[in-house]
Amino acid sequence: MFRRVLLLALLCAACSHRQRLPDGSLAFLEVRSEHFRLRTDLPEAEARKAVVELERVRNAFLVSLFSPDLDAGAPLEVVALADIEEMGEFAPPRTLGFFAQSATGHRMIALSGDDPAGSVVLRHELGHHLLFLAIPRQPRWFAEGVACYLETTRYDRSRGQWVVGELDQRRLEFSARNPVSHWDAVLKMGPQYMSGNPGRAWAFETHSWLLFHYLANTHPAETEAFLGRLQARMDPVAAFAQSYPGMSEQRIGEGVHAYLNGGKYLQRFFSVAEPEVKIAVRHLSSAETHALRARLLASKMMPGWLRPARKEVALALAADPGEPEALAVDFEITERPLADHIERARTAVRLHPYDARAALLLAERLPSGGERHLAIERALELSQEDPDALRLGAFDSLAGGRFPEGLDRARRAQRLAATDPRALDVLAAALAANGRCAEASQVEQRALEVLPDGTPETTVRQLQERAREMAGGSLCVRPVVEEAGGPETTKHPR
């Protein structure tokens, strides 16, 4: 996906002189654009080019499958390590990239810089990111099918156009060797496919890719109608039935079999305007660099990750006792009394009074009350478009009985963090508090649908229980008409 200039930049980084901090660790930069936050140890000139390429890829996705005026959402977090050897410190050998989510829901894409296949991870996750902004409610097969479909997007320099829909030979060969016997199981799959081994998850993604590829190429008008209905937030099952009338499991099986054995695999070509990219660059401090390394290790890609992660946290906090990201990782990986968390978070606020992350660390751990309210409001003051600040602010508003304000904050949080189940969970609560009962139940179900790999079983059960309570109405504020023509009153759940 990255253009040749980016690939050359990534390749040459391994052999160029790389700057180091006084303690010997590699120096990292933060390069920001409107839609990306890139942290990398590439040289600055190459890091700037990388961000421009990320924006070009995003533009190509918008023009080919989405809408150019799609809501931006929060910037996507990307870490680019200069070479595959460096990636080996954080992931198994030959890993070219991975997607990680922390216990607090923060998402990040990590890439190695010396192999073009590493960008497949970025294309896949960027596809998910944009898809959830465009279509908040979507079936699993569709989400994975589209993300895999976008993996092979590339720029054709000879034509000056982007190519979308090329075949993935590995997935095609796998599909031919492992035909699907029950397509209904693919269509109805939920998050349970992620709880098995990685091979099972890859198989489901591949079967989803094949189904979307088949539908998009052999039933383009119906697929366009399906996308439109999903964007209109129609129930996915009903949207599929109306868009593909008569598309039974048997018909899918026969059609896919014929497609695999002699179908026409179409490519689509798109001319895309070059983006105007404004870039801001800053050098990370030693503490921030060690905190980032701790965050990468805490993604648990490597056996024995805990000890080196704690070492990186210790190095970060030795340089800056209030470094917010280092403390966040420490709170995740080390059991400490809540009172200790609160005191450490207060240290972060004292040392970083203008950093919203510090205020959020404190707000998330304080009990309900005035200090917590002030910490949340401070975080919102410092970062009005931070989805975590808005999420906590929404809960604070609901707890204070300010239901319309809570709903406004929850909607903004979800717009900025479309794939974050915590943002969907607070939106469901806000909708319920404002009497939007049916919508609240649907949103809570969506929170379950977007749970990432490795979500703790306790979290899954909590969301499932809340979804049942939403559907049953016990968590919802319902408008009640006492008598026909009588005054309308509001009943609050106890």
pLDDT in tens, 169-210: 999 999 999 999 999 999 988 766 555 566 788 899 999 999
Asked if residue 109 has pLDDT above 80, the reply is yes
Q: What is the pLDDT of residue 490?
A: 36
Instruction: Give the pLDDT confidence score for residue 479 in this predicted structure.
Output: 47
Same-domain check for residues 254 and 301:
no
Considering the domain architecture, whether residues 258 and 291 belong to the same structural domain is answered as no
What total of structural domains would you count in the chain? 3
Task: Indicate whether 435 belongs to any domain.
Answer: no
Query: Has residue 1 got a pLDDT over 70?
Result: no
Alpha-carbon distance of 33 to 271, in angstroms, equals 22
* pLDDT for the residue numbered 192: 60
Three-class HEC string of the chain: CCCHHHHHHHHHHHHCCCCECCCCCECCEEEECCCEEEEECCCHHHHHHHHHHHHHHHHHHHHHHCCCCCCCCCCEEEEEECCHHHHCCCCCCCCCEEEEECCCCCEEEEEECCCHHHHHHHHHHHHHHHHHHHCCCCCHHHHHHHHHHHCCCEEECCCCEEEECCCCHHHHHHHHHCCCCCHHHHHCCCHHHHHCCHHHHHHHHHHHHHHHHHHHHHCHHHHHHHHHHHHCCCCHHHHHHHHCCCCCHHHHHHHHHHHHCCCCCCCEEECCCCCCCCCEEEECCHHHHHHHHHHHHCCCCCCCCHHHHHHHHHHHHHHCCCCHHHHHHHHHHCCCCHHHHHHHHHHHHHHCCCCHHHHHHHHCCCCCCHHHHHHHHHHHHHCCCCHHHHHHHHHHHHHCCCHHHHHHHHHHHHHHCCCCHHHHHHHHHHHHHCCCHHHHHHHHHHHHHCCCCCCCHHHHHHHHHHHHHHHHCCCCCEEEECCCCCCEEEECCC
- For 130, 147, 161, 476, the CA distances from 269, given in Å and listed in that order, are 20, 18, 6, 48
Pair 236, 294 in one domain: no
Roughly what angle, to the nearest 10 degrees, separates helices 437-449 and 421-433? Answer: 170
Residue span of the structural domain in which 36 resides: 1-132+154-159+279-284
Instruction: Flag whether pLDDT at 9 surpasses 60.
Output: no
| Same-domain pairing of 113 and 50 | yes
Ramachandran region, residue 120 (left: φ > 0; alpha: ψ -120 to 50; beta: rest):
alpha
pLDDT band at 494 (very low <50, low <70, confident <90, very high): very low
The Cα 342–Cα 338 span in angstroms is 6
User: Is residue 395 in a domain?
Assistant: no
Does 318 share its domain with 218?
no
Q: Provide the pLDDT for residue 388.
A: 93
Name residue, tokens 């950093």.
355
Residues 14 and 113 in one domain: yes
- Where among 284, 313, 338 does a domain terminate? 284
| For range 140-164, the mean pLDDT | 93
Half-sphere exposure of residue 281, counting CA atoms within 13 Å on the CB side?
16
Q: Domain for residue 9, yes or no?
A: yes
Specify the pLDDT at position 136: 76
Q: pTM above 0.85?
A: no
Cα–Cα distances in angstroms (integers) from residue 353 to residues 17, 201, 316, 371, in the given order:
36, 43, 18, 15
Q: From 222, 441, 166, select the one nearest 230 (Cα to Cα).
A: 222
The long-range contacts involving 180-186, CB below 8 angstroms and separated by at least 24 positions, are: 180/207, 180/210, 180/253, 180/256, 181/253, 182/249, 183/211, 183/249, 183/252, 183/253, 183/256, 184/249, 186/141, 186/211
Sign of CA dihedral 21, 23, 26, 31: negative
Last residue of a domain, one of 284, 312, 333: 284
In this structure, is residue 241 part of a structural domain?
Answer: yes
**In terms of domains, do 123 and 9 share one?**
yes
Q: Are residues 310 and 253 in the same domain?
A: no
Token pair recorded at residue 288: 């921030």
Q: Is residue 138 part of a domain?
A: no
pLDDT at residue 198, rounded to an integer:
66
Whether residues 75 and 178 share a domain: the answer is no
Does residue 125 lie within any of the structural domains?
yes
* Residues 77, 112 within the same domain: yes
> Per the domain annotation, does 364 fall within a domain?
no
Q: What sign does the CA torsion over 122, 128, 133, 134 have?
A: positive
Q: Does residue 43 share a domain with residue 117? A: yes
Judge whether 30 lies within some domain: yes
For residue range 51-90, list pLDDT tens digits in order.
998 999 999 998 888 776 676 677 889 999 988 888 889 9
> 105 and 11: one domain?
yes
> Rounded mean pLDDT of 237-251?
95
